[in-house]
Amino acid sequence: MGLRAKGIFILAICVASIAGLVPTYQAYRKGADPAAFKNKVNLGLDLQGGMFLDLEVESGAAVNRLLDRLAVEVEDTLLELRIDYLAVERRPGGIEVRLASAEKAPWEDPKLKRLLVNYEVKPAGDTYLISIPPIEAAAIEKRAVDQALEVIRNRIDSLGVSEPSLQKQGERDLIVQLPGLKNREAALATIGTQAVLEFYLVDDNATASNMDPSRHVLKYQEVRETTGGRVQRREPYVLERRPVLSGDTIRDARVSIDSQFNRPYVSLSFDSIGTDRFAAVTTRNRGRRLAIVLDDKVQSAPVIREAITGGEAQISGQFTMQEATNLAIVLRSGALPAPLTIREERSVGASLGEDSIRQGMISLIVGGALVVLFMVVYYRLSGVFASLALALNLALILVSMAAFQATLTLPGIAGVVLTLGMAVDANVLIFERVREEMLRGGPVKTCIEEGFNRAFWTIFDSNLTTLFAAFALLAFGTGPIKGFAITLTIGLVASMFTAIFVTRFFFDWFFLHRRRVAAISI
């Protein structure tokens, strides 16, 4: 590449960098929400404020829920096969099935074998215990944590948070960072709601005082004040012990407005499997009440007037518009496979983020000014070249982060400062090599070429080893460590370009295109 072509190329990079940095500066200068600007440098939680959550997934509950569902399916299958059984009951660690004394064990039937493919069936006379092998239970718990991470990710996407961070930590912990989040209550309601939706038949012939615990379960509906939203009372409902339908088959959930009372409610639509099950339940139980239970609370219990075959249902209650919207979001994203426990919650204020930015920028400016002063005083004109290359290096880092939608954190600013230091170090290596060649008394052109060529492999090796370390931090680090690794990686690539290509251009343009050069300012 000729000298003129190099100059045009570097000029184009400078113009592109300025064009990329000016809108970012204007956006943040005006105090605008960073999430509203695309292709700008996103600020992390520690710089723009937001919310930090350390969540623990109670993965053991996923195994219990799976056994509860299996008990219902086993009993339904026994009824379908017309097997005479006495009881199908949940026990700690499994399901107990008691058959009539003259009944033959049906476990070889294809329908039951398909249900119990990953389970163990141990006989004890006419009683059988269905349990989950420890290896399978551990796999279910691991999948529950992974599924919880994806469910939370889908819910957070609906909040409109720019560059959220969700990561596993250990076996059951999830770390959630939500930069720029302002509505804490809405976030907790959206993320922490388990959203287990179940449909139960109401037994109107039983009451809370005379119900049979082996056949019934007692759940409550909260009646709230119309204006304040405070719970006035809790109405009991005696429900059949097992749900007739769950929310696993929900295809869509959306908010609608009741035209009669002008209240919001959530409309549900089921997939093909859910539609068939809902139609069967409503066909067999006309005239009975069907309770809609969300997270162990009865939302409503309408009477089944006729068979519902269209796969549509609705959850009505004393919802505000925000509550109905949040409920629709969590139902669309799916239920959490297990409950969540908030182990730690931190809110970072925007003022703290502004202080961090200010202090980080002060350190960057002071450090950069001292470096530039040293380079200009010690290396004279060559130091000016290095300082110009350093400024371009900083611009390239910020523009690259904006282009790749990377997030700048406080450790990321430290990574920028470290990268600038390494870029100066590369220039120092080059200048010292050139000086050595000048002391040997060779021609100026030869001294510059030899200085750059011999310093290249030293710079390349040192940056390559640091780049490997940055890749390791990027792959295995979390949160601030990853932010540091991102800026360090981008900065190393940019420093290689500016130290070797840009600085070399300045030397060629100022010294080597002249016919006679007796010395250089280094």
User: Which range among 37-46, 139-148, 330-339, 371-380 shows the weakest confidence by mean pLDDT?
Assistant: 37-46
* pLDDT number for residue 203: 92
Report whether pLDDT(28) > 70: no
Residues 6+ apart with CB under 8 A from 430: 451, 452, 455, 459, 499, 500, 503
Which residue in 135, 122, 178 sits closest to 153, CA to CA?
178
Q: How many Cβ atoms sit within 10 Å of the Cβ of residue 4?
A: 10
- Residue 22: predicted pLDDT: 57
Confidence class for position 218, pLDDT limits 50, 70, 90: very high
CB-count exposure of residue 46 (10 Å: 0-12, 13-18, 19+) = buried
Q: Do 317 and 328 contact (CB within 8 A), yes or no?
A: no
Share above pLDDT 70 across residues of the chain, in percent, rounded to a whole number: 84
pLDDT at 514: 59
Q: Are 67 and 95 in contact (CB under 8 A)?
A: yes
Structural fold of domain 3-42+349-512: Multidrug efflux transporter AcrB transmembrane fold (1.20.1640)
Q: Which residue in 320, 439, 421, 410 sits closest to 372, CA to CA?
A: 421
Fold of 193-346: Gyrase A; domain 2 (3.30.1360)
Q: Please, are residues 90 and 132 in contact by the beta-carbon 8 Å criterion?
A: no
Residue 18: pLDDT over 70: no
Percent helix, strand, coil in the chain (nearest 5)?
Answer: 50, 20, 25
Locus of tokens 């050595």: 436
Bigger pLDDT: 111 or 326?
A: 111
The whole-number average pLDDT for the span 479-495 is 81
* 442 pLDDT tier (thresholds 50, 70, 90): confident
Stretch(es) of the chain classified as CATH 3.30.1240: 60-136
Alpha helix positions (H), 334-479: 350-379, 381-403, 410-439, 444-476
Which of 25-29, 162-166, 348-352, 497-501 is most confident?
A: 497-501
- For residues 399 and 35, what is the distance between their CA atoms, to the nearest angstrom? 17
Q: Is the pLDDT of residue 37 over 50?
A: no
3-class DSSP state of 344: strand
- pLDDT greater than 80 at residue 42: no
The three-class DSSP label of residue 39 is coil
Would you identify the CATH topology of the domain 60-136? 3.30.1240
Where, residue-wise, is CATH 1.20.1640.10 in the chain? 3-42+349-512
Contacts of 233 (CB under 8 A, 6+ apart): 223
- The 8-class DSSP code of residue 241 comes to S
In this prediction, residue 35 has a pLDDT band, given cuts at 50, 70 and 90, of: very low
The end-to-end CA distance of the chain, in Å, is 25
pLDDT at 361: 74
| Residue corresponding to tokens 């400078």 | 14
Lookup result for tokens 């523009």 = 399
Chain mean pLDDT for the chain = 80
pLDDT at residue 513 tops 70: no
Q: Which of 114-123, 190-199, 430-439 has the lowest mean pLDDT?
A: 190-199
User: Which of the residue ranges 3-12, 25-34, 324-333 would you say has the lowest mean pLDDT?
Assistant: 25-34
User: 3-state SS of 186-234?
Assistant: HHHHHHHCCCCEEEEEECCCCCCCCCCCCCEEEEEEEEECCCCCCEEEE
Maximum average pLDDT range among 172-181, 234-243, 308-317, 439-448: 234-243
In this prediction the pTM is: 0.58
Cα gap 67→80, rounded to integer Å: 20
More confident residue, 39 or 17: 17
All CATH 3.30.1360.200 domain ranges of the chain, comma separated, are 193-346
**To which H or E segment does residue 493 belong?**
helix 480-496
Angstrom distance (rounded) from CA 371 to CA 390: 10
pLDDT band at 239 (very low <50, low <70, confident <90, very high): very high
Q: Among the listed ranges 228-232, 287-291, 439-443, 474-478, which one has the minimum average pLDDT value? A: 228-232
Is residue 258 predicted with pLDDT exceeding 50? yes
